Structure 1
């Protein structure tokens, strides 16, 4: 699986680099940033997951960015299916354009259907992710971000998520 995911992210990076490099001046006066990430997974029992997480930010200073991010995830297996939509604000602090610290709040709307027990549920859940990571320049003002976040609101027996720890890979244009 790793042999498939890493080349996919490299292809996406190359695509973003080629789109950003054309017509971009070295002087970046625009304070808006755009980015996000996509993901998918396969597993046993015909498990499939597809997700997207777009984000729009504004550089408050050269090293501080705030904005809004969203997420949508669709999961399906032989036993269940679910759709999850999340939205909330984020704040990133950049250290020498090599590392970043991040905080983001997400409010999730979850639609869950258990196929075995014929059970349906609509739930809401809140998450406050704190963490950080490494940034790699992929263009004039474009970066790939690789990091680790922890949901400080996560509770083992009352959350739909299996863990509070979340690895992430994303892209940002406009820094």
Structure 2
């Protein structure tokens, strides 16, 4: 099963936190941000992966943003099919527009079906991702983020995820 979970999480980790936050041009009276991320993957054994993670945030200060992020992913192959939904709050603190610290809590609903053994299960799992990284300006108020997050609730033997460490690359527009 880990043979399927590891590729799923590699694809999932690269996209779930790769988010584009789109806000209106920097106006002091509009503090809402909107955005999300999309992931797509193909592999051997007719595997296909699609992921989307919309989000809405509010700038509490110029350096602190909080909001709600959701995620949905579908993965299928000749051997299995899975669907995962997640939702939860997030907070990002920006340090001099060069670094960021982040926290993201997700409650996942997982539906998995093994086509080979005709085995199905539904379960739920919580994840609390803490981490941070580097931000590189790529435009007027656009940034690329490169960082690491770690799921502090990860338990190796009981988790559907293959690891607690999640690398991320993302974009933020409108900060």
Give the shorter-chain TM-score range. 0.7 to 0.9
The structure-2 alpha-carbon separation of the partners of 1:162 and 1:76, relative to structure 1 and needing over 3 Å to count, comes to same
The structure-2 alpha-carbon separation of the partners of 1:173 and 1:28, relative to structure 1 and needing over 3 Å to count, comes to farther
Aligned to 2:39: 39
- Corresponding residue pairs, total: 155
C-alpha distance after superposition, 1:80-100 (max 9, x if no partner): 110101000001110111111
Aligned to 1:145: 145
State the TM-score, normalizing by the size of structure 1.
0.80
Distance in 2 (alpha carbons) for counterparts of 1:31 and 1:140: 17
Aligned to 2:119: 119
Alignment gaps of 5+ in structure 1? 1-15
Q: Match of 1:40, SS?
A: strand
Does 2:62 correspond to 1:62? yes
C-alpha distance after superposition, 1:140-166 (max 9, x if no partner): 333232221111111111011111111
C-alpha distance after superposition, 1:47-104 (max 9, x if no partner): 2211111111111111111110011111111111101010000011101111110001
Alignment gaps of 5+ in structure 2? 1-19
Superposed counterparts of 1:1-175, under 5 Å: 24=25, 27-175=27-175
C-alpha distance after superposition, 1:78-133 (max 9, x if no partner): 11110101000001110111111000100001111100110111111000000111
Deviation at 1:27, TM superposition (A): 4.6
Deviation at 1:40, TM superposition (A): 2.0
Distance in 1 (alpha carbons) for counterparts of 2:73 and 2:145: 20
Distance in 1 (alpha carbons) for counterparts of 2:48 and 2:164: 21
Distance in 2 (alpha carbons) for counterparts of 1:127 and 1:139: 32
Q: Match of 1:52, SS?
A: strand
Aligned to 1:4: none
Distance in 2 (alpha carbons) for counterparts of 1:88 and 1:170: 18
State the TM-score, normalizing by the size of structure 2.
0.80
